[in-house]
Amino acid sequence: MDDLDESIGKILLELQKDDPDLFLEILKKTKEGDMELLDEFQKNEFTE
């Protein structure tokens, strides 16, 4: 599962760089539905 989490994190970091508007839209939807996923992403965002 860690490999999947790492892959998703890398995809999201690339999306943040390439299409910030879509990235923010995904974050909003994630925040509405799954706070644990958002928290994990934010924690990893600053360690990459």
Kindly report, residue by residue over 1-48, the tens digit of the pLDDT: 678 888 888 998 999 999 999 888 888 877 777 666 666 666 766 554
Query: Mapping DSSP to helix (H, G, I), strand (E, B) and coil, where does residue 23 land?
Result: helix
Predicted model pTM: 0.55
Q: Which of 27, 21, 29, 32 is nearest to 45 (CA)?
A: 27
**Does residue 9 contact residue 2 with C-beta atoms inside 8 Å?**
no
